[in-house]
Amino acid sequence: MTDRIRTAADVGPELDGERLDQAAAHLFPDFSRSRLQTWIRRGELLAGGRQCRPRDKVHSGDHLTVDALLEDEVSWRPEAVALDILYEDEAIVVLNKPAGLVVHPAAGHADGTLVNALIGHFPAMAQLPRGGIVHRLDMETSGVMVAAKSLSAHHHLVAQLQERTVKRQYCAVCIGAMTGGGTVDEPIGRHPRQRKKMAVLSHGGKSAVTHYRISRRFANHTRITVSLETGRTHQIRVHMAHRRYPLIGDPVYGGRPRIPKGASDSLIAALRGFPRQALHAEALGLVHPLSGEAMQFECPLPEDMQALLAVLEREDEVPGSAAGA
């Protein structure tokens, strides 16, 4: 591939003070971090018309421009990592991502990722933007994902995500007994002081909309079904913490396990021992890039969440709290 790419974007307030390569990765998500860093070093990605280093800081209002050759890129090593494939054809692959698997190579996770596994199974995906990835799940979030196996499918799926027509449904278990479902329509951006965290921002965040309804209410916890209009980083975790119902097991937005007064030993062990945020992508709906057919994929709850819910149902249940209460 020897096409020339010309594009530009402005740095928003949520990226103020970020490294140039990190900001570029947010603003030009179709290209890998390594490719963007190469363009920066070559002077093909400029900030305010100036050549900078990848580590140089950018600020709100800076104008980034790209004028570069889009050469073939094989920057990741294929690996024989097992995949739980739910569906595949010549255009897409749908899979069940386990908790603990990083989606994309990054600092600290150069290998052993979902991308490494995908290009191990489907070598041609190494030539696609982000190895065919069109959306992500956090490392410790499990569930259904789709990836593209061709460039046209990649463009088609990205367009669906941008148009908010992809249906994404999650199961989450929150701390606190909710009285009803609702919608969180609050912008999300980088935390102003803790740069590894996201936060609801009054100014400068990106639009983020999360819908949730009660699936089952317990005495001190709530199982909810969540659907997304947008797909911001950590969106469900941030929005539910903002509503003061953080997810069980979330060390970033939920803090230490909250043990209800009078909790049994089994409930204490379940809450303290749950190893991750209690979040699972259970359903994904999309239009097939080739056939135009509406498709729906579902993924059952993993064993750890089933076990957690079993303890809550035995020992923390509100009498008469049926699903949908």
Active site residue 138: yes
Output Rg (C-alpha) for the chain, integer angstroms.
Answer: 21
DSSP string, 66-93: EEEEE-----S-------EEEEE-SSEE
Q: What is the helix (H) or strand (E) element at residue 263, kind and residue range?
A: none
Question: Residue 249: what are its φ and ψ, rounded to 5°?
Answer: 80, 5
Question: Residue 30: what are its φ and ψ, rounded to 5°?
Answer: -80, -5
Catalytic residue among 21, 138, 250, 316: 138
Alpha-carbon distance of 258 to 249, in angstroms, equals: 10
DSSP string, 26-61: HH-TTS-HHHHHHHHHHTSEEETTB---TTSB--TT
Alpha-carbon distance of 325 to 321, in angstroms, equals: 6
DSSP string, 169-226: EEEEEEES--S--EEEE--EEE-SS-TTSEEE-SSSPBP-EEEEEEEEEBSSEEEEEE
Which residues belong to the active site?
138
